[in-house]
Amino acid sequence: PPLLFQWAMMAHHPTVRVIYPYGSVYLTTSSRDFWSKWSRPATSLIRRMVYYPLGGGRRAWLSIPLMFLLNASGHFGVSEALVGDAAELGWLTVFGVLGLVATVEVVGNQFLELEHIDPGTGVGTGRSVAPSWWWATRLVLAFVALRFAAFTLLRKCLNAS
């Protein structure tokens, strides 16, 4: 049980923080939210090794796709072990599409989300406001990309018929 492990670690090393592997992925509202909750230890490691050194959000168009392609290469061995085929093209397709959708969402957020200005004071409230069509677009993109990725994963990576 992870909670017992965390208590044991904190008893001897109070500065150690245990990262739970998964958040509530089925309650996500966008692809970005999904990936922030999926496989947290791997995401944290790849983010520190690739995303931040490449400029993070300032160069999202570069850092996010490379992060997803690196992650794809880490999955070659999974299908090799499960079905005897590394399925490189399948994994690159899955993670390429998911990375493209995540990149579109992050770059779109940077361009479309504006700070809400209080009309009474003229001061920013700290909340962001985006056009209503953008929220619907994000939801549809995430839905279509995850369904495509699941289909490709089963058919091309794990050879399920």
* Cα separations in angstroms, 134 against 30, 37, 141: 11, 22, 10
Distance of CA 112 to the CA centre of its chain: 20
Q: Residue 15 CB: number of other CB atoms within 10 A? A: 6
Average pLDDT rounded to a whole number, residues 139-161: 84
State pTM to two decimals. Answer: 0.69
3-state secondary structure of 86: coil
pLDDT, one tens digit per residue, over 5-42 is: 555 656 666 665 656 666 676 677 777 777 777 777 77
* Cα separations in angstroms, 17 against 5, 7, 24, 33, 66: 11, 10, 19, 22, 27
Tokens, residue 20: 């739970």
| Burial of 70 (C-beta count, 10 Å sphere; 0-12/13-18/19+) | middle
pLDDT, one tens digit per residue, over 99-129 is: 999 899 888 888 887 666 666 766 666 666 7
CA distance 123 to 141: 33
**With pLDDT > 70 as the criterion, what percentage of the chain qualifies?**
73
| Burial of 108 (C-beta count, 10 Å sphere; 0-12/13-18/19+) | middle
Please, what sign has the CA dihedral across residues 42, 47, 50, 51?
A: positive
pLDDT for 100: 92
Instruction: Tell me the H-state helices in the chain.
Output: 2-12, 31-37, 40-46, 60-73, 76-83, 88-112, 132-152
